[in-house]
Amino acid sequence: MDRSCDQVTLYGTLSSADAYRIRDFLQRSTVQFEWVELSSDMEARREALVDGIDDPRLPVCVFPDGSRLEAPTLQQVAAKLGWIAPPRYAEYDLSIYGAGPAGLSAAVYAASEGLRTVVIEREAVGGQAGTSSRIENYLGFPRGISGAELAERARQQAVAFGAEILKVREGVGAEFYPGRMVGHLADGGRIVSRANICATGAQYRRLALPGEEQLCGAGLFYGAGASEAALCRGEDVYIVGGGNSAGQAVMHFAAYARSVTLLVRGAQLADSVSQYLIDRIAATPNVTVRTRCQITELHGDGRLEAITITAADGTSEIVRTGRLFVCIGAVPNTQGWGERIGIALDERGFVLTGADLMPDGRRPEGWTLDRDPLFLETNIPGNFAAGDVRHGSIKRVAAAVGEGAMAVRLVHDYLARL
Ligand SMILES: Cc1cc2nc3c(=O)[nH]c(=O)nc-3n(C[C@H](O)[C@H](O)[C@H](O)COP(=O)(O)OP(=O)(O)OC[C@H]3O[C@@H](n4cnc5c(N)ncnc54)[C@H](O)[C@@H]3O)c2cc1C
């Protein structure tokens, strides 16, 4: 079948977690793409030129130049889109890990103020904010803006000022020397910089239920699933969580799904939920809010088919659904490398900075400078943290953007004293 050749076309089955990862990545990267769902062997042969819907070559990604990638990794898709390039410089003034609002804001300020700046991002630009269907409380956007669009604008701004952004690259370790940091990337690359900002943010907690990993991306999703809403027409969608992001997801899906049920563990939505969202949820006829309940079982073989909901009084029921979106509390993105590189973390893994490093008034262990850690500086001199990854941060786009800008001011102070 002839399809538009000026955009990416992705062929796959609805139950494919790999297809979801690519869909999500393209959506968050604001890449125009067409999703072609294959539901029979005949369709798979005709549309994707593979043997059937179980063919391991699926998903297939076809690019505007007519080339195709079979069962590609995100790195391969990014490379094909021309996004993978080696670092331009042997050494930078500032490295920033994470291209969410905090990292992008830091990149804009640092590059615009003359620092040679590199941003390393393990997935798509935009972080959690990039997964939001509509951010309505960020200053300057009275009608709201999709997270992906906000992120893309910020990316363009950072690049226009000269910041380099290395996408689909993950920081996994670091070595520290006086006045130098060598960051280790998962692909074996090394990034040398004089100062660093950790802006690796946070991600949704898992439900911790049996079968969860297998169903992830195959009916079970984390976050607001901005790429998925239009695929939920006529379906009964369930969303777990009591905070703002769950509320936003509800409103986004309500426009497409037959019904949306929000499952809240507490007696009501969190106090932090914006009143405008509470009012809209209450006024939307196809939305139901169920409080004092939680999901206790996931059902499905290869794809989510049903969930067990257990109420606070212990009564349970199984409801059929092929779409569950989990938007519950965040865990910081410091797992794996955080402790290994010796950065001070709180008991939940968030990065400690400034005065939080000195609860008893004493400088952190191993601190070598004759001054206290600066606000947003970690226990490693010249290494700062900004945004959701930081202990005590306010989990908001504006706060992350503000901290990114502030961290750059402190980087200047640090570099000036080197
Ligand atoms: C669905 C949803 C809706 C939201 N809606 C709103 C809203 O309406 N208003 C509001 O104010 N806030 C909202 N928030 C909260 C807001 O998005 C976050 O507070 C904000 O994104 C935090 O920014 P950040 O840059 O600190 O971290 P993040 O946005 O989490 O970005 C961190 C980035 O670091 C990357 N990363 C992690 N580890 C590594 C590594 N090792 N190497 C390289 N990169 C790494 C991640 O991939 C990610 O891109 C929402 C959050 C979600 C999830």
User: Do residues 130 and 232 make contact, with C-beta atoms less than 8 angstroms apart?
Assistant: no
* CA dist., res. 315 & res. 65, Å (int): 56
In the predicted model, is pLDDT for residue 355 greater than 70? Answer: yes
Determine the pLDDT at residue 131.
84
Q: What is the DSSP letter of 226?
A: T
Going across the sheet that includes 8-12, the strands are 33-37, 8-12, 60-62, 68-70
User: Do residues 367 and 374 make contact, with C-beta atoms less than 8 angstroms apart?
Assistant: no
* CA dist., res. 194 & res. 185, Å (int): 17
199 lines ligand 1 (CB under 6 A): yes
pLDDT per residue as tens digits for the range 134-153: 898 899 999 999 999 999 99
Closest CA to 388 of 123, 200, 139: 200
Among the listed ranges 10-19, 221-230, 324-333, 337-346, which one has the minimum average pLDDT value?
221-230
Helices (H), 123-238: 127-130, 147-160, 212-215
Average pLDDT estimate for 291-308: 95
Distance between Cα 203 and ligand 1 center (Å): 7
Distance between Cα 99 and ligand 1 center (Å): 8
pLDDT per residue as tens digits for the range 101-117: 999 999 999 999 999 99
200 lines ligand 1 (CB under 6 A): yes
Determine the pLDDT at residue 274.
87
In the predicted model, is pLDDT for residue 1 greater than 60? Answer: no
Average pLDDT estimate for 225-247: 90
Q: Strands, DSSP E only, in 147-244? A: 164-166, 171-177, 180-185, 190-198, 202-204, 220-222, 236-240
Distance between Cα 242 and ligand 1 center (Å): 18
225 lines ligand 1 (CB under 6 A): no
Tokens of 171: 């920081």
* CA dist., res. 383 & res. 418, Å (int): 13
Q: Rounded to two decimals, what is the model's pTM?
A: 0.89
Determine the pLDDT at residue 2.
45
Q: What is the C-alpha radius of gyration for the chain, rounded to an integer number of angstroms?
A: 22
* CA dist., res. 411 & res. 119, Å (int): 15
pLDDT per residue as tens digits for the range 197-218: 999 999 989 999 999 988 988 8
Closest CA to 115 of 150, 134, 143, 91: 91
Tokens of 356: 């939080």
User: Do residues 234 and 259 make contact, with C-beta atoms less than 8 angstroms apart?
Assistant: no
* CA dist., res. 57 & res. 103, Å (int): 36
Determine the pLDDT at residue 217.
85
Distance of CA 132 to the CA centre of its chain: 9
3-state secondary structure of 387: helix
Among the listed ranges 116-120, 326-330, 332-336, 388-392, which one has the minimum average pLDDT value?
326-330
In the predicted model, is pLDDT for residue 330 greater than 90? Answer: no
Q: What is the DSSP letter of 44?
A: I
Across the chain, mean pLDDT equals: 94
User: Do residues 224 and 131 make contact, with C-beta atoms less than 8 angstroms apart?
Assistant: yes
User: Do residues 380 and 193 make contact, with C-beta atoms less than 8 angstroms apart?
Assistant: no
Determine the pLDDT at residue 5.
54
CA 123 to ligand 1: nearest atom: 47
Distance between Cα 403 and ligand 1 center (Å): 13
User: Do residues 145 and 134 make contact, with C-beta atoms less than 8 angstroms apart?
Assistant: yes
